[in-house]
Every structure is written in structure tokens, then in C-alpha cells.
């Protein structure tokens, strides 16, 4: 759907980016200064690459060899920035319809559909200065959707919001990623947002794209620590709710090879869920422990142990067809005599779970972080 293979330069940053996405939500993830905004500006036509090619579906947006460089308006890319950039003198309704009016397009998306999708019905007559930050961003997203885009770029749309406002808008982004029906390029340096929203993850570091692929596969890799941020390391696993224990408020999720118990999760039996498990919240043992409060205890096999020079080591463990990532000290690796192929007991505290609701493109109805 979106195919990028370009080089360029902006200031002191040399950019060399190559990735492909089949649709859904593709996240560009990297630390500040890695080149995320520069790359999206080149895709949108705001900045011209030096060489290469960008295609969106059957449309060539840029091709240096053929001399193709479509202007911004011809690319039909909706852009949502960190700040909402609404017209202060216009109502919410007029802001929503402005891009359609200015572009002289009828549009294929119904206004009422977008209003309901983003929960804007009660805001239609208000002016931007009466809205919260999260409400303004929802209006900006709606305006972009109503411009009839072929691609929606969201450039760190939550970066300027406090945690409360982020929590307010995330459920709307969940719905947007499922129901918008167009590919989305989501830019963030928050691994929580990336894990929650995306199907494909593109790693960006110092203007380079060292890796891209399915988000679960990317987050499990131990060779991308510098680009992803070591403190953010974790893994994604998918599962099915098999039981809801109302007495103790625990939801049982079968991940294929183990059943995890998750507290206070809004789900019903049969729901498909995706779980993010932080590496720092995983402990390993060579024997099943006794007398612990930890409820998530299951067997796994060590797949790999990263070669580290500092105090820590990254361990990948296989559970059925899925991967759990653990960060422990190198001293513990030696004391436990860990090696690839060895069976271990994995321990994850239930109370480490941060509840999150989700409805991604495939039938996954919830996401939580462990």
C-alpha cells in the first residue's frame, strides 16, 4: 500500500529510509531527532527527497529518476500535527468541513459518520478555545478524514497532551484505526502508543530505518535497543479470553501454551486480546517456585540470550508459538546456567498490568500492558 525508498537531507540530518506497509496502521518509532517528522514531510510532499521513490497504492508520489513529484494537494494525504491548528474563529463544524470546502471535493466520507466516530456531536457549535486539548485533536483528526485522504499521517498527535488527555483520546484512536478504512502512518516516540495501535512498526534511528515488520516481531528483537530505548523493551503476545472470574476480578487469557490472569479487564469470553509484556516485569526461575503471590507462572524455553557488555542481558523465551522477553542481570544468567534450549519458569506479576481498551484491525478487542 505504502512503499518508501528515499534519501534526503535536512540540515545536518542525512536521511535514508526504506520500508513497505500493506495497510492498516504503520508506526514510525524512534527517539527525538531520529528523523520521523522529516520522513513524513517527504511522504506528504512538504519536503523534497534527494533520490528515490514513494508510491501509495497505484499512485507514484515521487520518483527522482522519472522526474515525478506530485504537489501536496494532489497526493491527498491528511496530516494531523502535534498541535491541532484549528481556525479559532470557526466553529467545530466549520473546522471539520473546511478542508473539504477548500479542496472543492465532495468527499466520500459522511460528516455524521466522522462526528460519531470521534465523539464530536456535542461539540459542533463550540469554538476551539472552549475545547480541551484532547477535544481539539479529535476535531483536527476529523478535519483530516473529511478531506478524503488516501493516507492519514498522524505526527505525534498526543505529544502535547498530559496523561489524562491522552487517556481520553486513545479510545477514539482505537476506533479510528479500525473504522477509518484508510492506511494510517502513525509517528511516535511512545512505545505504549505504538504497541497499542499499530500493525507494522518501522524503526527509525539517526535518519536510518534499520528494521521494519510486524509490531510483535520488532518489539521482540534484542538488537534494536539503541533505536527503541532499552527501558522500553518488551514483547507483544496475542490471546483469547477463556474465562472471566467475577469473584476475584481476574480475566483468564490463553496465549497458547499458558493462561495469564489479568485483573480488572473489560472483556468477555471469546474476545481476542493483545498483551504487551515489559521485559523488566518478567522474572525467570529454573524450578517452579512455591509460596508466591505472583499468579502468572508458566513454563517456557530459552530461545536466545543477547550478548551484552553492561550489567543486563535480554532473554527471549518461547511459549507455544509466541515470544516472551525478559531483562535480567548477566550475573543471574550465569548463576542460573541459562542457555538456548533450556527450560525455565516465567513469572509475571498480575498487578503490573496497565488496563487499556483496543479494537485494532484484526479482531483484537483489548490491549493491556504487563
> Any idea which residue has 465523539 for its cell?
119
Average pLDDT in the 248-252 region? 92
Residue 267, pLDDT score: 84
Whether residues 364 and 239 fall in one domain? yes
Residue 163, pLDDT score: 81
Residue 254, pLDDT score: 94
Helix axes 133-145, 163-179, angle to 10 degrees: 20
Tell me, what CATH number does 26's domain have? 3.40.50.300
Average pLDDT in the 185-195 region? 86
Tell me, what CATH number does 361's domain have? 2.40.50.100
Q: What is the pLDDT of residues 45-73, one digit of tens each?
A: 999 999 999 999 999 999 999 999 999 98
Structural domain for 181, as ranges: 2-225
pLDDT-above-70 percentage for the chain: 90
Residue 322, pLDDT score: 92
CB 228 within 8 A of CB 202: no
**Least trusted range by pLDDT, from 28-42, 152-166, 213-227:** 213-227
Residue 348 has phi, psi (to 5 degrees) of: -135, 125
pLDDT confidence of 166, banded at 50, 70, 90?
Answer: confident
pTM of the model: 0.82
**pLDDT surpassing 50 at residue 359:** no
CB 237 within 8 A of CB 322: yes
**pLDDT surpassing 70 at residue 230:** no
Average pLDDT in the 291-310 region? 90
**Which residues lie closer than 8 Å to 294 by C-beta, 6 or more apart?**
283, 347, 348, 349, 350
Q: Among the three residues 207, 225, 243, which one is the final residue of a domain in this structure?
A: 225
Residue 103, pLDDT score: 54
Q: Among the three residues 225, 251, 283, which one is the final residue of a domain in this structure?
A: 225
Whether residues 85 and 141 fall in one domain? yes
Average pLDDT in the 239-268 region? 91
Whether residues 355 and 260 fall in one domain? yes
Distance CA 106, CA 280 (A): 51
Amino acid at each position: 500500500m505504502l512503499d518508501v525508498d528515499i534519501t534526503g537531507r535536512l540540515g545536518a540530518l542525512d536521511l535514508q529510509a526504506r520500508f513497505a506497509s500493506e495497510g492498516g496502521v504503520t508506526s514510525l518509532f524512534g527517539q527525538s531527532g531520529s528523523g520521523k517528522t522529516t520522513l513524513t514531510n517527504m511522504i506528504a510532499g512538504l519536503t523534497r527527497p534527494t533520490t528515490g521513490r514513494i508510491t501509495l497504492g497505484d499512485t507514484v508520489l515521487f520518483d527522482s529518476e522519472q522526474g515525478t513529484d506530485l504537489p501536496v494537494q494532489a497526493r491527498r494525504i491528511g496530516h494531523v500535527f502535534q498541535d491541532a491548528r484549528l481556525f479559532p474563529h470557526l466553529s467545530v463544524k466549520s473546522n471539520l468541513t473546511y478542508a473539504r470546502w477548500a479542496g472543492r471535493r465532495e468527499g466520500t466520507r459522511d460528516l455524521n459518520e466522522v462526528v460519531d466516530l470521534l465523539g464530536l456531536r456535542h461539540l459542533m457549535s463550540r469554538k476551539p478555545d472552549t475545547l480541551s486539548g484532547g477535544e481539539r485533536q479529535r476535531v483536527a483528526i476529523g478535519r483530516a478524514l473529511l478531506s478524503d485522504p488516501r493516507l492519514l499521517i498522524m505526527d505525534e498527535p498526543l505529544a502535547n497532551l498530559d496523561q489524562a488527555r491522552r487517556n481520553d483520546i486513545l479510545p477514539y484512536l482505537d476506533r479510528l484505526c479500525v473504522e477509518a478504512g484508510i492506511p494510517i502512518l502513525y509517528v511516535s516516540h511512545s512505545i505504549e502508543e505504538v504497541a497499542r495501535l499499530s500493525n507494522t512498526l518501522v524503526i527509525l534511528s539517526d535518519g536510518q530505518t534499520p528494521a521494519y515488520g510486524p509490531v510483535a516481531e520488532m518489539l521482540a528483537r534484542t538488537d534494536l535497543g539503541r533505536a527503541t530505548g532499552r527501558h522500553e523493551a518488551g514483547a507483544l503476545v496475542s490471546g483469547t479470553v477463556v474465562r472471566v472470574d467475577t469473584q476475584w476480578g481476574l480475566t483468564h487469557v490463553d496465549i497458547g501454551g499458558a493462561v495469564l490472569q489479568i485483573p480488572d479487564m473489560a472483556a468477555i469470553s471469546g474476545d481476542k486480546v493483545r498483551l504487551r509484556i515489559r521485559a523488566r516485569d518478567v522474572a525467570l526461575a529454573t524450578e517452579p517456585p512455591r509460596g508466591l503471590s505472583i499468579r502468572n507462572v508458566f513454563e517456557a524455553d530459552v530461545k536466545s540470550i543477547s550478548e551484552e557488555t553492561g550489567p543486563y542481558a535480554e532473554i527471549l523465551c518461547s511459549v507455544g508459538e509466541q515470544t516472551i522477553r525478559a531483562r535480567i542481570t548477566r550475573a543471574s544468567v550465569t548463576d542460573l546456567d541459562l542457555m538456548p534450549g533450556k527450560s525455565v519458569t516465567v513469572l509475571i506479576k498480575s498487578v503490573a498490568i496497565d488496563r487499556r481498551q483496543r479494537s485494532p484491525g484484526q479482531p483484537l478487542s483489548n490491549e493491556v500492558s504487563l
